[in-house]
Structure 1
Amino acid sequence: MPHHATRRLLGRARELEVLEQLLRDVRDGRSRVLVLRGEAGVGKSALLAHLAERAAPSQTVHAAGVEAESDFAYSALQRLCAPLLSHLDRLPPVQQDALRVAFGLSAGNPPEMLLVGLAVLGLFAEAAAASPLVCLVDDAQCLDLMSQRILAFVGRRLDAESVALVFAERAAGGEGSEAFTGLPDLTLRGLADADARALLDGALVAPVDARVRDRIVAETGGNPLALLELPRDLSPVELAFGFARPGAGPLASQVEEGFRRRVDALPADTRALLLVAAVEPVGDAPLLWRALRLLGIGAEAGAAAETADLITLGAPVRFRHPLVRSAVWRGADAASLRAAHRALAEATDAGQAPDRRAWHRAHAAGGPVAVAVKHLPAQATKSERGCAGG
């Protein structure tokens, strides 16, 4: 395992053993569901990455809730299921039709949720028939409501399909969303003091008095991302006063603000690249680069973004942490957002993804626009689902 991954997982022996047991059970032919809960930056994404690495050679599929797409029904579910659609023709015809309509692959009346849920359950089982299947869903609190409900439905019915379904959900105080109530869960807390001190020592750029170090550990509650990221923007004098400075907001907001300052310091083309990536939630690298070419942005902008440790421009494109995406999106002005959506709309194939193209076109418009997007049931607002904010 790379050194940086090992460092991020410092002090997580209990959690790692839970994940190892989950994989053992799935390889033995049983299905397992787990919801990882905790505050932003506590290490949920790092544990999912570790699980993906340990799951090989089993099949692994990924999806993540994205705030900018959380009103687009079935969007996260479609991303999770897309690599498995080669198994679609093995399902009963009525379930095939339900998924095709839900994912915008064919026309029809909005399908019943029960049919969509049974179809996804069957799709997972068919995909796992030859090799165990590991499904990883990050930032589950920002899933569109239909995806959240369907995946929770599936999670309650998995039994002996050799499927692992693991969610990471940002939840203050361990209180998660209603949709996942009753599913097995594991609440992540901050690191123990000794582990937190070791992690902080590796991130500090200058010596810090032991008493100040202890205060910083206490102020962060042992949150790994805060311990790694917050010292980047502080001088030795500022570090001497810890992180709880007058006027400081919640911890997640402080970390997000740190990412935003790093983004603001980058060249204009690099900031534009990050913004296009932030509003393109699939992580589709070819689509991203097509859109960037339309904006006249070249590969050098990507190199600067990767050097800043904010994004990995691979297949798929992945941000350093969900708070980076949030910082980029929230920090952009309206004109820049419209330009990013306009480029993505033009770069999106109208035949293959008409709904997504229409969605980008709507966001690119300068005023109210009526856009007909099929098969999108009513959604709760982001604030109703607790998606807004850190």
Structure 2
Amino acid sequence: MRGRAAECEALRSLIATVQSGSHQVLVVRGEAGVGKTALLDYVSELTSDFRCVRVAGVESDMELAFAGLQQLCAPLMERFDELPQPQREALNVAFGRGVGPTPDRFLVGLAVLSLMAAAANDQPLLCIIDDAQWLDQVSVQTLAFVARRLLAEPVALVFAARDGNAPTLTGLPELTISGLSDSDARELLNSVIPGRIDERVRDRIVAETRGIPLALLEVPRNLSAAELAGGFGNLAASRSAGQLEESFVRRIRSLPADTQRLLLVAAAEPVGDAALFLRAAANLGIPVDALAPAEAAGVIEFGPRMRFQHPLVRSATYSNADLADRRVIHRALADATDPGLDPDRRAWHAANAAAGPNEAVAAELETSAARAQSRRHRRGGGILGARSNFDIGPGPPRLQGDRRRTSQGRCSSPRSCI
């Protein structure tokens, strides 16, 4: 559990307390992908002498009353006959084992409490509830009821829920999980990338994923070796518009037109160079103040390196822009890039800006390819990679052939031009 020493210690303490005969309740909170499920897996590995039951909420079951509760309690129903008659009747109806009027929720809660206490008579009981925000409301309410009424039973209830969700669990002990520290995030990233990774690319991935482990693991899988070695691909553009979080798309579309254009500038510039961003904005005649609504909405942070709230925001910005708008933005970025200091980046932006065959762009790309090939031989990587990585459109052609094909400007995304 890289970077989770404090969290693991809290879970070990929780288990030790239950082993001594007392109950424990904990709600692990954090955003999607932060590692809540991994921590639940960790605590389950600590409990070889426990009985462990586990349930994970599923969105499709949210409207099915008692669905989550039934799944959690099913392994414990062997102790069902030990419950008082009113509780047995209530639980039978709730779980579809009997017919009758809608069961009293108080009795259902007492029945679940009694069932867990009976199961814990033999050995300590660990109940793990993952994705609690997706459990049906009745099940969440019942489990919160039980959590607040456990006394001397050796029972642990450990929930995992996303930030700002499952308000019924508010007030129970919480463990808030945030992203990994920069150093731990870099270590995790390095552990899943077999080859060389350019420091700028690595730092940008760490910054934009905010150390969220799932994002750190997923983003590099969408990048080529050339991009990881310093290529100018869009770090999130491999995701299609249909795969984007729709909420991000709606937020972007609600912003003023000039704000959206500046977001597109930031999304199209893969290194996040703020100075280049400012020069491109000036080329477009858009005042930098137009970015303020996006900053206020928490979509992007302006600093020495531009940083989107989440990689999916970058993807949403770029993937949902018109091709003509992308070309205009790349043209502004190409014009703003010093050909003496960064000719490869200029060539890449110029290629994305081209709307048709362009001999000058093709020449720039071939020169860039030669430089990249030379660097690759010298240090095992390159800014743009070998010629075979120079797609100029959504499919072939590539640079290895008629130069005219490489300058036709059919780029549907920055990655397709790498």
Superposition TM-score, scaled by structure 2 size: 0.55
Aligned partners of 1:48 and 1:136 also within 8 Å: yes
Secondary structure of 2:99 counterpart: coil
The counterpart of 2:185, out of the listed 196, 217, 222, is 196
Asked if the contact 1:41–1:252 (Cα under 8 Å) also holds between the matched residues in 2, the reply is no
Matches within 5 A, 1:200-349: 200-239=189-228, 240-241=232-233, 243=235, 253=245
Verify the 8 A CA contact 1:137 1:167 in the aligned structure 2. yes
Contact 1:193 1:222 in 2 (8 A): yes
Please say if residues 185 and 211 of structure 2, whose CA atoms lie closer than 8 Å, have aligned partners that are also in contact. yes
Go from structure 1 to structure 2 and tell me whether the alpha carbon gap of 1:31 and 1:211 turns closer, same or farther (over 3 Å shift).
Answer: same
Letter in 2 for 1:232: R
Q: Does 2:10 correspond to 1:18?
A: yes
* 1:270-318, Cα deviation, whole Å (9 max, x unpaired): xxxxxxxxxxxxxxxxxxxxxxxxxxxxxxxxxxxxxxxxxxxxxxxxx
Q: Which amino acid aligns with 1:63?
A: V
| Among candidates 65, 87, 110, match of residue 102 of structure 2 | 110
Unaligned runs of 5+ in 1: 1-8, 255-390
Query: Deviations for 1:202-238, whole angstroms, at most 9, x for unmatched residues?
Result: 1124311112211110110001111112211221344
1:350-385 Cα distance to aligned partner (Å, 9 max, x none): xxxxxxxxxxxxxxxxxxxxxxxxxxxxxxxxxxxx
Decide which of 31, 50, 54 is 1:58's aligned counterpart: 50
Q: How many residues align?
A: 243
Give the gaps of 5 or more residues in structure 2: 247-418
Q: Give 1:176 shift.
A: 3.6
Determine if contact 1:141/1:170 at 8 Å carries over to the other structure.
yes
CA distance in 1, matches of 2:140, 2:14: 22
1:185 aligns with 2:174: yes
- Provide the C-alpha distance between the structure 2 equivalents of 1:246 and 1:133, rounded to a whole number of angstroms: 44
Larger RCO, structures 1/2 (Cα 8 Å, 6+ apart): 1
- Alignment match, 1:356: none
Query: Aligned partners of 1:195 and 1:177: how far apart in 2?
Result: 29
**Equivalent pair of 1:33/1:184 in contact (CA under 8 Å):** yes
The secondary structure found in structure 1 opposite 2:122 is coil
Asked which structure has the greater CA Rg, the reply is 2
Aligned equivalents of 1:97 and 1:166: distance in 2? 27
Q: 1:243 Cα shift?
A: 3.4
- Give 1:247 deviation, angstroms: 9.2
Aligned residue among 83, 97, 108 for 1:91: 83
Aligned twin of 2:276: none
Alignment check: 8 A CA contact 1:117 1:154 kept: yes
2:245, 2:207 → 1: CA distance?
17
Alignment identity in percent?
Answer: 52
Aligned AA (2:77): L
Q: 1:167 aligns with which of 159, 171, 177?
A: 159
Q: Is the 8 A contact 1:212 1:241 kept in 2?
A: no
* Aligned partners of 1:74 and 1:103 also within 8 Å: yes
**C-alpha separation in 2, matches of 1:17 and 1:241:** 40
Q: Deviations over 1:53-103 (max 9, x none)?
A: 111121000001001111111111001000000111111100011111100
The verdict on how the C-alpha distance between 1:67 and 1:115 changes in structure 2, with shifts beyond 3 A counting, is same
- Aligned partner of 2:343 in structure 1 is none
Task: Judge conservation of contact 1:197–1:213 (CA < 8 Å) in 2.
Answer: yes
> Do 1:219 and 1:243's aligned partners in 2 also have CA atoms closer than 8 Å?
no
Counterparts of 1:190 and 1:25, CA distance in 2: 27
2:144 aligned with 1:152, yes or no?
yes
Q: Deviations over 1:6-44 (max 9, x none)?
A: xxx211000000100000010111001000011111110
Q: Sort the Cα spacing of 1:167 and 1:231 in 2 relative to 1 into closer, same or farther, 3 A.
A: same
Q: Distance in 2 between matches of 1:218 and 1:243?
A: 12
- Name the residue aligned to 1:39: 31
Asked whether the equivalents of residues 223 and 235 of structure 2 are also in contact (C-alpha less than 8 Å), the reply is: no
1:253 to partner: Cα distance: 4.5
Is 1:70 aligned to 2:62, yes or no? yes
For residues 320-353 of structure 1, the C-alpha deviation after alignment (integer angstroms, 9 at most, x for no partner) is xxxxxxxxxxxxxxxxxxxxxxxxxxxxxxxxxx
Q: Distance in 1 between matches of 2:6 and 2:244?
A: 24
Provide the C-alpha distance between the structure 2 equivalents of 1:227 and 1:204, rounded to a whole number of angstroms.
11
Name the amino acid aligned to 2:151: D
Deviations 1:86-141 (A, max 9, x none): 11111110001111110001111110110101110111111001110000010100
Q: Could you say if the C-alpha distance between residues 135 and 252 of structure 1 is closer, same or farther in structure 2, counting changes exceeding 3 Å?
A: farther
- In the superposition, the TM-score normalised over structure 1's length comes to 0.59
